[in-house]
Structure 1
């Protein structure tokens, strides 16, 4: 059963620190949740488990996981050297109705104002249940990071507005990238075409690049 939501930031951080060093199997047993054999079909399982243990409320809603505390929760799989193993999903990218949208009123800005990072062992040689949780980090972007995020977001959104969504690759952006976000390539959604009409494209999501999250972890633990 999901835990009650923490009343304040201190309670949230206490819960997060209490998980450090604990195996995922132990957290799962405590929450009466089955541990999958692998994560190929259960990609979001670790994040959902940690959400349940910490009492996150948002679920799949487009808002911060702890809206009342102004905190977004992100689990991050790491290798034995503490390096992130994959990019970090932030939120779905809007592909239509984007006139008047600014960085300050975007979901990316909203979600990245304050993030609770929970590192988790992610190497495939360790079975899912045996993977341990690391020390949590409460992070807010510094001036440089905030500027990088804003610049990447604005450049990507300009390309979307110009109808170039299908020309954007994962190489665009210094710290933030746009990638397809769907179960398969048959999933389609409306987007802006180059002539301003509506076309069909694969849904896209914003992701933080590995080098950026590596920098967050390095700064926290150095």
Structure 2
């Protein structure tokens, strides 16, 4: 994509299309459900919009500084699940700050694409909503920074295995692995190297609901004021 306007127009053009229609355009098969294909919808939208980052630790559109996030909503427009941001560094974190963290990098400008998340609707028949851009305001960034700092302080002190998904006001830390056999290096209670499950940062649903409420209460003309 050459610029933000072009990307926004391309994302807006997807609104109302079913997953079956989009998948056919991209030559992709629609799975029966998302039980074993959790990332499929994101991959479908990435393909449709030409995201270039793949699995790299970059924004999905690095040339624009934009991250693409799908957000499944219920019939009332509320988020149905947490939003994965990025994997969590568990070693070699000396000198890492919020300002140079991958969480902040990923969330500095997000193109949210709402999708129909109702499980009673067959996956192929679910549709795409209207996209919107979001950048954290001062309050939101402060919330994110506070949670990120608390999580990373605990990791640095060797307390990674004591962190639960309940901790954090808006940003949670929880295991991110295909199964319990996938382990990675981390810092133990006495500073010794240990093996633990990889972790990921996730936005809590009350935070993404807060984003939706803030964005759609705007009244000035903006690309972010369109209703999903």
TM-score scaled by length of structure 1: 0.96
Give the unaligned 5+ runs of structure 1.
1-5
**Offset at residue 74 of structure 1 (A):** 0.2
1:86-165 equivalence runs, <5 A: 86-165=81-160
Q: How far apart are 1:135 and its partner, in Å?
A: 1.0
Per-residue deviation, 1:67: 0.5
TM-score of the superposed pair, with normalisation by structure 2? 0.94
User: Partners of 2:181 and 2:76 in 1: how far apart?
Assistant: 37
Segments of structure 2 that go 5 or more residues without pairing to the other structure are: 218-228
Q: 2:194 aligns with which of 181, 193, 199?
A: 199
Distance 1:123 1:205 in 2: 25
Q: Distance in 2 between matches of 1:184 and 1:55?
A: 30
Provide the rounded CA distance (Å) in 2 between the counterparts of 1:28 and 1:136: 18
Alignment map for 1:1-222 (pairs within 5 Å)? 6-222=1-217
Distance 2:28 2:117 in 1: 19
Deviations 1:23-55 (A, max 9, x none): 111111111111111111111000000000001
Measure, in 2, the Cα distance between the counterparts of 1:126 and 1:221: 25
What secondary structure, in the 3-state scheme, does the structure 1 residue paired with 2:37 have?
coil
2:13 match: secondary structure: helix
Q: 1:109 deviation in Å?
A: 0.6
Partner SS, residue 194 of structure 1: coil
**Distance of 2:50 and 2:168 partners within structure 1:** 33
Q: Please give the secondary structure, in 1, of the residue aligned with 2:52.
A: coil
